[in-house]
């Protein structure tokens, strides 16, 4: 796949999408979001890929936010369409049947934080900076930030974070539970790839089942969530993954998930 605003590559069973507008610190505009949506739609039908890694070009930014030059001239209807596009992309990332890891270097502000939040988890370099500064522009987050952030760090903390346009460094993001791991800038890529390869060695159905049980369960009460888990668990026994995994364990050999 060839694009103008993103880069796409594959390494084994892991796919990599890199936001590639370095002169604009990888800011999100309509063109990039549309290309990303096409790439995600194509990836969703790729049976070989089991993990996706999202990153930004260069070391200065994952995504520095939305492209302000586009926002400045928008009227309410154009703003709604831009939010529709952005939210549809974030929703698509969350709905992928494979795990998605955000590898964050430098700025992840506004839409950049929202992009990272839409992933299954985040690894950050020690130079990463997170923030939702939209209020300083007379706006609010429009790509799911007001919804995903409180679900991750709690309502009150999220309100303070957004209302003060607070910027936090990687270590504080780790303490808040916003990111899973902080690495040196030099070690981030190898650390992400190591985790991605470990996950990619598992069966694709199993990966999808974990995402379904956790994500759907978060939106309901505990009893309903456990019912979701039970239903997904039972369906595992209809798969080759479960047969191979249990057989390999009894035969004392590594499983080979196809």
Out of 4, 35, 134, 160, pick the active-site residue: 134
Give the largest Cα separation in the chain, rounded: 65
For 55, the 3-state DSSP assignment is strand
**Residue 85: in which H helix or E strand, if any?**
helix 76-95
Q: How are beta strands 14-19 and 6-11 bridged, if at all?
A: antiparallel
Interacting residues of 30 by C-beta distance below 8 A, sequence separation 6+: 70, 82, 85
Active site (annotated) includes residue 114: yes
Residue found by looking up tokens 């598992």 in the block = 202
The answer to whether the beta carbons of residues 198 and 12 sit under 8 Å apart is no
| Residue 77, Ramachandran bin (φ over 0: left; ψ between -120 and 50: alpha; else beta) | alpha
Q: Which of 10, 114, 160, 244 is catalytic?
A: 114
Report phi then psi at 140, rounded to 5.
-130, 165
Question: What's the Cα-to-Cα distance from 224 to each of 53, 97, 176, 238, 241, rounded to whole Å?
Answer: 31, 21, 28, 23, 26
Lookup result for tokens 């590639």 = 20
* Cα(212)–Cα(242) distance, integer angstroms: 17
β-pairing, 61-63 vs 167-169, is unpaired
Neighbouring CB atoms inside 10 A of 160's CB total 12
Active-site residues, by number, are 114, 134
């Amino acid at each position: 796949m060839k694009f103008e605003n993103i880069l796409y590559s594959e390494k084994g069973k892991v796919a990599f999408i890199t936001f590639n507008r370095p002169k604009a610190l990888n800011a999100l505009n309509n063109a990039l979001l549309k290309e990303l949506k096409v790439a995600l739609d194509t990836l969703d039908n790729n049976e070989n890929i089991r993990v996706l890694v999202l990153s930004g070009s260069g070391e200065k930014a994952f995504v520095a936010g939305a492209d302000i030059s586009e926002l400045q001239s928008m009227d309410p209807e154009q703003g709604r369409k831009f939010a529709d596009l952005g939210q549809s992309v974030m929703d698509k990332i969350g709905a992928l049947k494979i795990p998605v890891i955000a590898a964050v270097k430098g700025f992840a502000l506004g839409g950049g934080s929202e992009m990272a939040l839409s992933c299954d988890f985040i690894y950050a370099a020690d130079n990463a900076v997170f923030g939702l500064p939209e209020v300083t522009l007379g706006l609010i987050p429009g790509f799911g930030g007001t919804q995903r952030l409180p679900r991750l760090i709690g309502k009150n903390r999220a309100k303070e974070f957004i209302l003060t346009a607070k910027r936090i460094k990687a270590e504080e993001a780790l303490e808040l539970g916003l990111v899973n791991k902080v690495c040196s800038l030099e070690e981030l890529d190898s650390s992400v790839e190591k985790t991605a390869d470990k996950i990619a060695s598992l069966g694709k159905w199993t990966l999808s089942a974990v995402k379904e049980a956790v994500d759907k369960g978060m939106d309901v009460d505990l009893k309903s969530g456990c019912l979701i888990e039970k239903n997904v668990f039972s369906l595992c026994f209809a798969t080759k993954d479960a047969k191979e995994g249990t057989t390999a364990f009894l035969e004392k050999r590594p499983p080979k998930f196809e």
